[in-house]
Amino acid sequence: MTDLTGKVALVTGAGSGIGKAAALTLGKAGANVVVMSRTASEVDQTASEIRSAGGESLALSADTSDDAAMAELINRTVSHYGRLDIVVANAGINGVWAPIESLKPEEWDKTIAVNLRGTYLTIHHAVPHLARAGGGSIIVVSSINGTRTFTTPGASAYSVTKAGQLALVQQLALELGDRKIRINALCPGAIESEISDNTEQRGKELTEVPVEFPEGDIPLTDGAKGKAQDVADAVLFLASNASRHITGTPIWIDGGQSLLR
């Protein structure tokens, strides 16, 4: 039920971490995978790995917050493969985490632009093609932050974008249902990835609420972070016919972390 042969998938933020793992997993399941990131060298590598494993892939570069760039990317995807069936809206940044009074408007705007506007533009341009293909699956990568937990010091902009992504998913589940388009949200907790590379944190001591966690705050793994593959396997499930009656649903992938926090 997870055979995706003949399907076309677009994965944003596919150069590393969760996006790369998702792209490789979809490729192994038989999908033709369009891998997208702002960094061409990274998605070129991801596409090369998919092909080396016997799959088919196209690497494209774009900024998800750029309307014209995303319109062109989706059009190139459909021109190349003839259809679009699966969209994984994964591209995002942590941005700046700082006390609200010192968080600059331009810092707030950048996080909103990449995480929330980028998700909107990806879906906005993809939906007509998904509908034309007779339906499909959209998977939005959100977070435990803003959906279950609010204890990350200074992460107001980030949490707002992740909460907004989940609200968008639930709104669109009803709007898109009659076109047989399913949309769901994955909400990872701590995952081994490179996203921390684009995080700037200031004034942690001013916003942190002291909490003493039990030994190992991820119960399922004795405190160890999850793997990108843990999220990628959930992407495969939601992309496939195995999840045919699931839409508008958040899935927390955190080993129980958010239930403690």
Q: Are 132 and 83 in contact (CB under 8 A)?
A: yes
The DSSP bridge pattern shows strands 32-37 and 56-61 to be parallel
Which residue, among 60, 80, 64, 62, has the nearest Cα to 124 in the 3D structure? 64
Q: Nearest 10 degrees: CA dihedral of 195, 88, 74, 64?
A: -30
How big is the chain, counted in residues?
Answer: 261
User: What is the C-alpha to C-alpha distance for residues 251 and 64, in angstroms, rounded to an integer?
Assistant: 24
Residues with catalytic function:
158
The position carrying tokens 């609420």 is: 209
Angle at the Cα of 77 from the Cα atoms of 73 and 82, rounded to 5 degrees: 150
DSSP letter string over 145-190? BTTTB--STT-HHHHHHHHHHHHHHHHHHHHHGGGTEEEEEEEE-S
Strands (E), the chain: 8-12, 32-37, 56-61, 86-89, 95-97, 136-141, 181-188, 199-201, 250-253
